[in-house]
Structures are given as structure tokens and as C-alpha cells.
Structure 1
Amino acid sequence: MNIKSLLLGSAAALAAVSGAQAADAIVAAEPEPMEYVRVCDAFGTGYFYIPGTETCLKIGGFIRFQTNFGENAVNRLQGWGNAGTSDWDAFSRAYISFDAKSDTEYGTLTGFFAAEFNADNDTDIGDSLIDVDEAYIQLGGLKAGFFYSWWDKGLNGETDSIGNVTEFNSIAYLYDGGSFQAGIAIDELEGWSTKPNGVGVQGIVSASVGGVSFDLLGGYDTEFEEGAIRALLSADLGPGVFQIAGIWASDPNAYWA
């Protein structure tokens, strides 16, 4: 009798505890809101907002593979190192760029980086070369970093350059008034000659009316104490563009040689 009462009392106690647990409400954690990638069309096509920010990012690039054939073909098309003895050569290149932009009260803030990765199997100095193409910060018309200068602009469809060195670590400012532009740049010339403390100065004035544009560009190399001036005229004529350029240099220098 005592044993039965004890068992019944234990069963009643278990039932009470189970009932109390069942009465407690089960609260499920609410899922955190998901933030999907949003398209940013404020700076052109291809940009998207970095989640959680108002900064727009555009990622670009390409992959290139080529094979060269011919006597001593190694490295000849790449333009670096010494030609090898093989009559064929395979070569691969990858290019990637990151362009981040955001609006500020002083204008558009841009951070740009692009690099080129080259892969080859022979043993020359140019193999597996990593090259920084551009890396700069820009706020409105003010730009600082490693980038192509105004001397990089050439004639359409021409492979001949109308500049010597066209990429520097620089600080530049360009005033853009639409049909009229004017700019100045300070370039580091260290490494382009045997002289130390090299500084270069560039200045450009551009104007466009209708389908005609004109650029007047000048550069002064303090290492060689020489300068160069270049004029470039472009005009839309029917199905094509007519261009003519003239260059004067006091003597060979970083901008023209």
C-alpha cells in the first residue's frame, strides 16, 4: 500500500512538472533582416552599393591567352627581356580593377586600383610579372597617386606614341568647365634618369566647340632642365575623326625623347 502510494505520488509529481514546462511559451528568435546588393546608377553602369554603406563599387577585368609562333618567339611580343630560343611560346594575362565612388560635399570621392598579372613558363625576367597599372585617390578635380598622365592621350588608331613616359606618381588638379578644361600636375621623375630628386611639371589647356577639340600640353623636366610642348587637334568629319598633332622639345626629356 505504501509502495503504491509512493509510485502514484511520483507519477503525479512528474505530470505536474511536465505540465509546467509545457505551459512555458517558446519564443523563436526573429531572423535578422537581409540586405541585398543594390544597383548604383549614380556613376554609370556596372556599379553596386557595398552593403551597409553609401559607397558604390565597380569591379572589372579580363583574362587573355595567346600563343606566339616563329623563330625565337619567346618574349618578343611581350616586349620585355631577351628573346628565347624556342619557336613557340604560350602566355597568359589577367587584369582586374576596382573602382569605388561616393558623393561628398566637396565632390565625388574616387578610389581606383588596377593590376596586371602575367604568367609564362620560360625563365626570363618578365615571367610571372605583377604590374600595378593604376592606383590613385581623386576628390573632385584633385587627383593623387600612380596614374596615366595627359601625355598618354594619342592619335586614334595609331600605335605610335606621341609621348615618352606617360605614367607617374603624381598630384594633379583639373578644372572642368565642360567645353573648357585647364589642369596642372606635379610628377615624380625619380628612376627615369640617373639624376636624383627629379620633379616634373605638366600643364594642359583644352577646349571643344561642336565636333572640334584642341589640346595644348606642356611639360618641364627638372632633371634634364628641358621641356616639351604638344598640340593636338581633333575634328569630327563625316564617318571618321580627323586628327593632327605637333610636338616641340628643347631636348630629350621624360615627356618627349
Structure 2
Amino acid sequence: MNIKSLLLGSAAALAAVSGAQAADAIVAAEPEPMEYVRVCDAFGTGYFYIPGTETCLKIGGFIRFQTSFGRDASTSRYNQEDFDFLGNGGPNESTSDWDAFSRAYISFDAKSDTEYGTLTGFFAAEFNADNDTDSGDSDFIDVDEAYIQLGGLKAGFFYNWWDKG
């Protein structure tokens, strides 16, 4: 009777444990795949939709680095009035044999269709850095163009046919 109750108790314990393991596990639903960047081909190549809108955006630009080496390389850009009558440099003279110049240009072009035509917003800026001591060349930011255009009307700061040569 002792073995019989032991077997019966083991079977009951085994049934209880296997019943607990047989329960279905909680499975979380997989999220739907999200499209982060949609290509906008309505205005040409390079545009993408700004998420949540029907506005197309194109970001462009370049980075340039230039260096020159030679005897007093950075003084070659100075005007003649920066030097005295003996040829000695003025207060802005640099005696470095290296000259480095870097430029970064970035542009943002946003377009959207409206009932009046295409609405365009454009902004471009240029960032320059030069290691010489000429006060006109060192670190500066220049807004190249900034305008809004709707249909045939354009307002802002932009180049026309006679500006860039």
C-alpha cells in the first residue's frame, strides 16, 4: 500500500506539472513594418517625402578642402596695400608656409503641389574657414539663396541670369 500510494502521488504530481507546462505562452503580435523613407519622384531624382506629409524634400551639398604650400603661402592673397614700401608685411602678414581652406555647402529644397501650382521653398548656405589671419577670409557663414516660389511668383534672396557668371 505504501508503494501504491507513492506511485499514485507521483502520477498526480506529474500530471500537475505537465498541465502547467502545456498552457499556451503569451505571444506578442509583431509590429507592422514601417516605411521610414518614401521616394518622391514627382519633382525629379533625389526627393523624398517628409514623414506624415505630402511635401517632398531634397537635401544636397558638398564639402571642399584645399591646402597650399610654399614660401609664405598665405600672404599671396593679400592686397598690395597690406605691405609697406620695403615689401615687409603689414599687421595681417602670416609667415606660415602652409595655407588651408575649407568650405561646406548645404541646400534644402522642399516642394509640394497646391491648387495654385507647385509651392517651393529653397535654402542654401555656405560655411567657410581659412587659417590665414586676413580678417576678410576667416570663418564666416554666407546665405547663398533663400526663397519661396508659388507658380510663377518668386520672393526672397536668389540669383538671376546676371548674378552668377
Q: CA deviation at 1:95?
A: 0.8
Take 1:10 and 1:142, find their aligned partners in 2: how far apart are those partners? 89
Which deviates further from its counterpart, 62-71 or 80-89? 80-89
- What is the alpha-carbon distance in structure 2 between the residues aligned to residue 80 and residue 105 of structure 1? 61
Is the Cα–Cα contact under 8 Å of residues 92 and 133 in structure 2 kept in the other structure?
no
Preserved contact between residue 35 and residue 51 of structure 1 (Cα < 8 Å):
no
Moved more, 53-62 or 94-103: 53-62
Distance change >3 Å, CA 7–CA 81, structure 1 → 2: farther
Structure 2: 5+ residue stretches without partners: 74-87
Q: Deviations over 1:219-250 (max 9, x none)?
A: xxxxxxxxxxxxxxxxxxxxxxxxxxxxxxxx
Number of the residue aligned with 2:56: 56
Kept in 2: contact 1:59–1:98 (CA 8 A)? yes
SS at match of 2:67: strand
Alignment pair present for 1:97 and 2:107: yes
Structure 1 portions without partners, runs of 5+: 154-256
Deviations 1:58-90 (A, max 9, x none): 1211222233567765xxxx9999675556522
Matched, 1:106 2:94: no
**Shift of residue 19, structure 1, vs aligned partner:** 1.5
How far off is 1:97 after superposition?
0.8
Contact 1:47–1:58, Cα closer than 8 Å, also in 2: yes
Shift of 1:142: 2.9
Considering Cα pairs closer than 8 Å and 6+ residues apart, tell me whether 1 or 2 has the greater RCO: 2
Q: Percent identity?
A: 92
- C-alpha contact 2:145 2:157 (8 A) present in aligned 1: yes
Distance 1:5 1:144, change over 3 A: farther
Change (3 A) 1:61 1:125: same
Return the alpha-carbon distance in structure 2 between the equivalents of residues 143 and 69 of structure 1.
45
1:126-150 CA distance string (max 9 Å, x none): 4551212122222222333332356
Question: Between Structure 1 and Structure 2, how many residues are aligned?
Answer: 150
- Give me the TM-score of the superposition, normalised by structure 1: 0.45
- After superposition, the Cα gap between the structure-2 partners of 1:143 and 1:7, relative to the gap in structure 1 and judged at 3 Å, is farther
Equivalent residues of 2:105, 2:127 under 8 A apart: yes
Q: Which has more strand, going by share of residues?
A: 1
Distance change (3 Å), C-alpha of 1:84 and 1:28: same
Q: Distance in 1 between matches of 2:129 and 2:157?
A: 23
Alignment-derived partner of residue 43 in structure 2: 43
1:101-142 alpha-carbon deviations (Å, 9 max, x no partner): 111112112121111111222333345512121222222223
State TM-score, norm by structure 2. 0.65
Cα 1:14–1:136 shift into 2, 3 Å: farther
Could you tell me how far 1:93 is from its partner in structure 2?
0.8
- Contact 2:107–2:124 (Cα < 8 Å) also in 1: yes
CA-CA distance at 1:56 after TM superposition: 1.5
